[in-house]
Amino acid sequence: MAADADGGPHPDGTANGADAGSVYPPPTNPMVTALLTDMYQITMAYAYWKAGKHEEPSVFDLLFRKSPFGGEYTVFAGLEECIRYAANFRFTPADLAYLRTVLPSTTEPGFFDYLAALDARAVRIEAIAEGSVVFPRVPLMRVEGPLLVCQLLETVFLTLVNFASLVATNAARHRAVAGPDKTLLEFGLRRAQGPDGGISASRYAFLGGFDATSNVEAGRLFGIPVRGTHAHAFVSSFLSLADLPERSLPRADGTRCDDFVSLVQGKLRQLKETPAVAGWFGETNESELAAFISYAQAFPRAFLALVDTYDVIRSGLPNFVAVALGLAECGYRALGVRLDSGDLAYQSKEARKLFRGVEAAFHVPGFGSIGVTASNDINESTLEALNKQGHEIDTFGIGTHLVTCYAQPALGCVYKLVEVRGQPRIKLSADIDKVTIPGKKRPFRLYGKEGVALVDLLVGDDEPPPRAGERILCRHPFLESKRAYVAPQRVEPLYHLYWAGDKTGKGVQPLPALAALKEQCKQELAAMRSDHLRALNPTPYKVSVTARLYNFIHDLWLNEAPVGELA
């Protein structure tokens, strides 16, 4: 069963629903239609149709040539959306009316009739599982079927895979640096590249290893946990304690603390007189204290305060502690503080010192381990630097750098014709990295001892699949001298069939829920050798072809490449 296949309306509430009986809802973003494409797909479609080539059997590979962020791996994401797109691919009458206005008036009417009846039922899509760790040159998806319709899927498939995979990879890299025990929150919506840049980032950051998002709509659409407390505006909207209309707080045991405000003020006075924390502060900001009390009254079980509106050390932290001690006396445990500017390592250590001092002095068990969240322009390098300095942060809120993939804002997936009418096609280039591997082939992952991935091997469709225990010659696709024998302990075929034209989803791989994709990603990363994954000078993971495929490529290459003439 496809995700979201419970037959309900499309989760975004639009009328853009799927066919009855289909397990494939339309793409999440209703703007992803047959017209969301490059104009040259339409002009090519007409030229194919005019030349009678539109139904020619064809095979396209979708692949990338270099992993992002200077790394050696990529997390594949976006597949579910591609399959939903294929399953719902149609030109509406309104689409065709628009196309009539942008194609020449000489365009034959039969072409529009053809498009009106077109869908992707004749297309077959095999792909690597979403959430997998993948490598350059190994096609992530193989799209087979009539030339014209396969061509028309290109742009959206690239748009859906490029950004999804980029964000998932970025998230996995942030997770790797932060370590498995930290809580990672995606906070990027406001800085994202448009509304669904934000929504997609929330979704695929979760897939790649984040724990939650601030994005409420992404929470609703994908079931991602949502998190959030308050901003500086909340703090500065209070002028003084006189702004608090209510002084009481219901205790956790159901009784009532009639004057929570005075309780907190008392705690603040006590704090000042406590040797363990003496000298920290003089007068704290009263409007900040009012804001914290008010927030605690609204969320006594989820009190997390942003402490840098005025001065973290002299005002924010002591105000927080006073409210947290008041809450403790009423039977609640404060969640913690959020730091959003300045020296996060130093501030977090000071906060921890204070919390521990308070635990000892006030005898509040667990107070020393109250949470510290940090959220100011954090990226991979900041995390690395914080790790080196030492810090006491439990939770990171990461926005801009994560969601816009600041370090490299685009992944360069391409979609290449590798076979037409049974004939292999090769795209030549002066740059070896841009030469495509022609013909129908499928990838296998070969594992060694202890379940570690050794190499990905591309095997021609006309060859027998590799088998565990066999000694297999793995060749670099282009460089003659690079080759090695491998005797894998286990061989895993990387392709699964995801679309064969049947909207009931029969006979194809189901599309797993987001949580399962997240788990897939985690397990795949765990099966990689750590030197392939490290941020600094990672070892390239080997992608090879069989000896037979190697010869096939090179025969074709020599055949197609023009012979130069030195003059």
Footprint on residues 396-455 left by a second copy (CB under 8 A): 400, 404-406, 409-413, 415-417, 420-421, 423, 425-431, 434
For tokens 């209070």, the residue is: 238
Distance between CA atoms of 527 and 462, rounded to whole angstroms? 29
Q: List, in order, residues 6 or more apart from 164 with CB less than 8 Å away.
A: 77, 78, 81, 200, 203, 204
Examine residue 315 and tell whether it contacts a second copy (CB under 8 A).
yes
- Name the token pair of 19: 């066919």
The residue from 57, 228, 501, 538 that contacts a second copy (CB under 8 A) is 228
Tokens of 59: 């095979």
- Number of residues lying near a second copy (CB under 8 A): 133
Q: Under rule CB under 8 A, which residues in 511-530 are in contact with a second copy?
A: none
Antiparallel, parallel or unpaired: β 414-420 and 57-63: antiparallel
Window contacting a second copy (CB under 8 A); options: 233-241, 457-465, 483-491, 522-530: 233-241
Are the CB atoms for 252 and 297 separated by under 8 Å?
no
Question: Given candidates 70, 100, 113, 220, which one binds a second copy under the rule CB under 8 A?
Answer: 220
Closest distance of CB 218 from a second copy, Å? 9
Residue 481 Rama label (left phi>0; alpha psi -120 to 50; beta)? alpha
Q: Work out how close the CB of 147 gets to a second copy at its nearest, in angstroms, rounded to a whole number.
A: 6
State which of residues 23, 32, 171, 398 lies at the interface with a second copy (CB under 8 A). 32
Contacts (CB under 8 A) with a second copy, residues 353-372? none
User: Interaction with a second copy in 42-61: which residues (CB under 8 A)?
Assistant: 42-44, 46-48, 50-53, 56, 58, 60
CB closer to a second copy, 232 vs 548: 232
Residue 347 in contact with a second copy, rule: CB under 8 A? no
Residue written as token pair 């499309």: 10
* Segment near a second copy (CB under 8 A); pick from 149-157, 324-332, 451-459, 486-494: 149-157
448 CB-near residues (< 8 Å, 6+ apart)? 454, 486, 488, 489
- 295 is a site residue for a second copy (CB under 8 A): yes
Pair 268, 284: CB distance under 8 Å: yes
Looking at the Cβ atoms of 138 and 304, the one nearer to a second copy is: 304
Q: Dihedral, CA atoms, 282, 285, 291, 292, nearest 10 degrees?
A: -20
Interface with a second copy (CB under 8 A), residue from 244, 360, 361, 473: 244
Please, what is the minimum distance in Å from the beta carbon of residue 11 to a second copy? Answer: 9
Position among 55, 311, 463, 492 found at the interface with a second copy (CB under 8 A):
311
CB 336 within 8 A of CB 296: no
| 3-state class (DSSP) for residue 360 | helix
Minimum CB separation of residue 189 from a second copy in Å reads: 6
Residue keyed to tokens 């979704």: 203
227 binds a second copy, rule: CB under 8 A: yes
Q: CB-hemisphere CA count at 13 Å for 428?
A: 11
Token code pair at residue 120: 């992707």
Residues in contact with 377: Cβ distance below 8 Å, sequence separation at least 6, in sequence order: 399, 400, 401
Q: Of 65, 96, 155, 272, which one interacts with a second copy (CB under 8 A)? A: 155
> How many Cβ atoms are within 10 Å of 56's Cβ, its own excluded?
17
C-beta of 123 vs 494, nearer to a second copy: 123
Question: Comparing C-alpha atoms, which of 432, 361, 528 is closest to residue 137?
Answer: 432
C-alpha 41/C-alpha 386 separation (Å) is: 48
CA distance 168 to 186: 12
Smallest distance, Å, CB 261 to a second copy?
A: 12
CB of 333 to a second copy, least distance (A): 14
**CB nearer to a second copy: pick between 114 and 310:** 310
The interface with a second copy within residues 186-205 (CB under 8 A) comprises: 187, 189-201
Alpha carbon 241 to chain centroid, angstroms: 43
Tell me how far apart the alpha carbons of residues 426 and 141 are, in angstroms, rounded to a whole number.
17
Answer for which of 96, 122, 183, 217 binds a second copy (CB under 8 A) is 217
Near a second copy in 544-563, by CB under 8 A:
560, 562
Q: Which of 371, 448 has the CB closer to a second copy?
A: 371
Shortest spacing between CB 48 and a second copy, in angstroms:
7
Per CB under 8 A, does 169 bind a second copy? no
Q: Is 233 in the site for a second copy (CB under 8 A)?
A: yes
84 part of the interface to a second copy, by CB under 8 A: no
Residue from 279, 275, 257, 228 nearest 328 by CA: 257
Q: From CA 390, how far away is CA 382, in angstroms rounded? A: 12
CA atoms within 13 A on the CB side of 134: 32
> What CA–CA distance (Å, rounded) separates 291 from 300?
13
189 vs 457, which CB is nearer to a second copy? 189
Q: Which is nearer to a second copy, 111 or 362 (CB)?
A: 111
| Subset of residues 263 to 292 that bind a second copy, contact rule: CB under 8 A | 279, 282-283, 285
The binder of a second copy chosen from 122, 226, 360, 515 (CB under 8 A)? 226
Between β-strands 423-424 and 414-420, what pairing exists: parallel, antiparallel or unpaired?
antiparallel
Residue with tokens 């390592």: 345
Residue closer to a second copy (CB basis): 404 or 544: 404
Stretch that binds a second copy, among 158-166, 174-182, 259-267, 486-494 (CB under 8 A): 158-166
Residue 31 or 484: which CB sits closer to a second copy? 31
Q: How far is the CB of 22 from a second copy (least distance, A)?
A: 18
Q: Which stretch binds a second copy (CB under 8 A): 171-179, 266-274, 305-313, 503-511?
A: 305-313
| Least gap, CB of 447 to a second copy (angstroms) | 33
Query: Closest approach of Cβ 163 to a second copy, in Å?
Result: 5
Rounded to whole angstroms, the Cα distance separating 474 from 461 reads 16
Q: Are 208 and 167 in contact (CB under 8 A)?
A: yes
